């Protein structure tokens, strides 16, 4: 995943961009950790197991498409990179898997040291991590690969 490691922007701007992109995904996984089991339980129990399973699968695919669309939008607006307008479900699936696996230490910390301080510290630590992973996944879905110019940096700050 070359390209974003060689950004022409120095130091703090890169970390703040990773953090900015990571805010959404950190919030997303926090909500998902606490809400998904309850929502899945309601769907399975309220509408029967077969219908609830189908609704859960439809909801999961919708979530993957939404993740791909949101990451595309964030990458285009924060990094000024032109993205593909297709493949959002695959984009969302790859991003979901990477973010899920990378969040295991965060989940372990939540369960070992429950409390608001652990939540706040882990949330802040994972902002740039989630942003970096989101940009890494997005770099796979750039419509073209030119080794000399990965993207034109935004000049109107």
Tell the residue number behind the tokens 């060689």, with chain if given: 6
**Residue 148 within a domain:** no
**Residue 33 within a domain:** yes
The CA distance from 137 to 88, in Å, is 11
The CA distance from 36 to 28, in Å, is 11
Tokens standing for residue 3:
């390209």
Contacts of 119 (CB under 8 A, 6+ apart): 30, 110
Enumerate the H helices of the chain as residue ranges. 12-46, 49-79, 88-102, 104-112, 116-140
Which residue, among 47, 38, 43, has the nearest Cα to 56 in the 3D structure?
A: 43
**Residue 155 within a domain:** no
Share of the chain above pLDDT 70, in %: 80
Total count of domains within the chain:
1
The CA distance from 125 to 110, in Å, is 13
**pLDDT confidence of residue 154:** 45
Q: Give the chain's mean pLDDT.
A: 80
**Residue 63 within a domain:** yes
Q: Which residues of the chain have pLDDT under 50?
A: 1-9, 149-157
Domain that includes residue 28, residue range: 15-140
Which residue, among 11, 29, 31, has the nearest Cα to 133 in the 3D structure?
A: 29
Q: What is the pLDDT of residues 51-88, one digit of tens each?
A: 777 877 888 888 889 999 999 999 988 988 888 888 88
**Residue 147 within a domain:** no
- Phi, psi at 98, each rounded to 5°: -65, -45
């Amino acid at each position: 995943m070359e390209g974003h490691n060689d950004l022409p922007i120095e130091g703090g701007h890169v970390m703040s961009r990773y953090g900015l992109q990571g805010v959404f995904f950190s919030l997303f996984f926090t909500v998902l950790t606490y809400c998904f089991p309850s929502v899945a339980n309601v769907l399975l129990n309220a509408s029967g197991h077969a219908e609830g399973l189908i609704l859960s699968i439809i909801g999961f695919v919708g979530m993957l498409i939404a993740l791909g669309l949101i990451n595309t939008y964030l990458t285009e607006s924060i990094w000024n990179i032109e993205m593909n307008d297709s493949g959002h479900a695959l984009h969302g699936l790859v991003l979901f898997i990477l973010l899920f696996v990378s969040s295991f230490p965060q989940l372990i910390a939540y369960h070992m040291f429950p409390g608001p301080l652990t939540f706040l510290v882990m949330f802040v630590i994972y902002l740039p991590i989630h942003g970096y992973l989101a940009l890494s996944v997005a770099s796979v879905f750039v419509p073209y690969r030119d080794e000399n110019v990965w993207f034109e940096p935004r000049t109107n700050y």
